[in-house]
A and B are shown apart, each in its own frame.
Chain A
Amino acid sequence: MQSIERNRFSFIPATGDEQQAMLQKIGLQFDDIVKCFAGNSCVEGGLHLPDGLTEDQMVEYWDTMMSRNSGPRKASLLGAGAYMHFIPAVVPHLASLPGFITAYTPYQPEISQGTLQSLFEFQSFMVELTDMELANCSMYDGASSTAEALLMAHRVKKADRVLVAATVNPNYLATVRTYLEPHGIAVDVVRMNDGGRVSMEDLESQLSASACSAVLVQSPNYLGIIEDLGAIGTTVHAHDALFVESFTEAMALGLLKYGVGNGADIVVGDGQSLGLSMSFGGPHLGVFATLKKYNRDFPGRIVGESIDTKGRQAFVMTLRAREQDIRREKATSNICSNHALNALTAAVFLGSVGESGFRALACENVAKLQKLISGLEATGHFTRVFKQSSVFNEAVVASSIAPEDMRSRLAGVPVFPPLALARGVVPETQGMPHTYLVCATEMLKDSLLEQVLGALS
């Protein structure tokens, strides 16, 4: 081993002399320490990686690379699980305070109250918004959270079968299948009806066919349609299964009804819309809320309020005996690190927009989609599919414009083009062979909408 040049790597403070002094104290040379590798092939001649870059070189390299992305984008007609919303400046500012981002899991509550209390606040918000009794302090994302919900339902009900609505986001469904497959749990799909919703007849008949641990329904569903969760909940409970409600668009929590009022046993979803950027897929935020009677069954960490030795309010992780570090292979999940910082970000976001702001945002999303759809229909090239079914900020439209044409027409408009659905996902519309899932949020300002409609007219 050659000695390291002094101060060559700015993230390693030790100089060559200091390392020599330390080795002297240790009483060994570095080669003595790595003798334990004996007999194993060490990396000869170093890794085949380039030399390190200095910070200024890095910035330049990054800049060249990122300029290969097209853009910039001011709004998105593309949703399907990731949503472009406005992020108030205060949110990233507070969520990136070094005290928050350079800490780890709050195992030592006396020096982690900041993380612990923020997570408690997040849990409180989730309890209110999902209208459930208990929320954990985050999962990875909506898809994995949904999969964990079904695993939990299986632990509680033990029947090796779950029902999943055909209208669930396909990436969520794929994740569910991946998680459930090794446990031999059958994942049966409940058909969609003509309105783009769960078929109640098929649900009823599948529930009657054989025992089921859970029924998973998403609302708004993959096609943007709001499911009749209350009616579904009643049917599910008549058959002694757990009812799992899932959402991909957390903004909907500001307007739509979730939770106990629908008979939900678990509410799961993705909180990316709550102040988090899309960042090409992550990190998102998994939300997981359930009922108190399942407080030994749910996955993930949770913070509780307690007191210190002087009787002062203090927060601490609780219900820990479910977790992997205590119960190992019998744990309710293997989850350890979660998306705590994103939960904190969501807490800051909700604190920032507050009660009236969050409701206003939800309503604005509904209004923007309606404007977009009527504008698209006015061009004569689009018509909404499932016209009779209520939607939040996404909907399916049929169009005479083909996907390649759509992309080129929108090339000059700073928006992400909508998602082209594969043939067969929804029934065909006469004369309009192409279908799109379109999304509109508060980011789609009127002037931008005009540009979109102009390009598509």
Chain B
Amino acid sequence: MATIEVVERLRPPSAVMRALIGIFTLWQRDLLRYWRDRTRIAGGLAQPLLFLIIFGAGLSPWMGTLGGATVGPDYLQFLYPGIIGMSVLFSSIFSAVSVVWDREFGFLKELLVAPIPRWAIVIGKALGGSTTSMLQGLLLLLLAPLIGVRLQLGTILLLIPLLFLLAFSLSSIGLVIAARMRSTEGFGLVMNFLVTPLLFLSGALYPLNNLPTWLTVLTRIDPVTYGIDAIRRVVLSSAGVPQPVIDQLGVTLFGHPLHPLLDAAIVLILGIFLIVLAARQFARPD
């Protein structure tokens, strides 16, 4: 009777194995979709470029060298790592919109009835979103020579995990919101209310020292602050800016300058907290 090739009935893989397979498959799917969607790649580059070229080049001549010393970076060089962070911020948060899309277009159902745990879907999505956002941020490193920032290989190798961490944390914020969202419009609205303050408070556009107290407090609550601080410290140090100037332009917490590793740790802890939250929201059955 059965003329169609019969699938081997293997012993079903263990729960951990099923989760790993699910995570990997979804990660790969996001990468494939990213690679295929060239307009998204180009569009994701356009906005940071405009910021750098128009906003940065326009302000730069008025600012001179930052940090009061003749050896300090100009505004464009200060802005550059911030814009890399901004690009990661935009693309990670919006990568989570694909969950809402998948829900609207039905593909999410295919995943929900597959024999993989629901939390694995969330983690796969977060990793997929972080990887593509990291790539988007790394693409901006190509501009370094134009900005007058020399990057060594070591710097780039250091930036990869930093960008990934920031992207992971931000993708998780997106997923927490997307977990219960039913329409793309609703998601877009919430995101706009979230992304703009996250960006403006993050120190991407101006140094976060000598600010009024209320603003200092808000900027230290913004998780993007720490991600961008780590990126900026690494990039400026690679550009040959002396450490005292970097500390002056970098973020301080309770009066102490932060080390990039501490920045990274703060972002990581927050990312883990958020992804657990997203997974829990997602796993709630109907």
Q: Do A and B come from one complex?
A: no
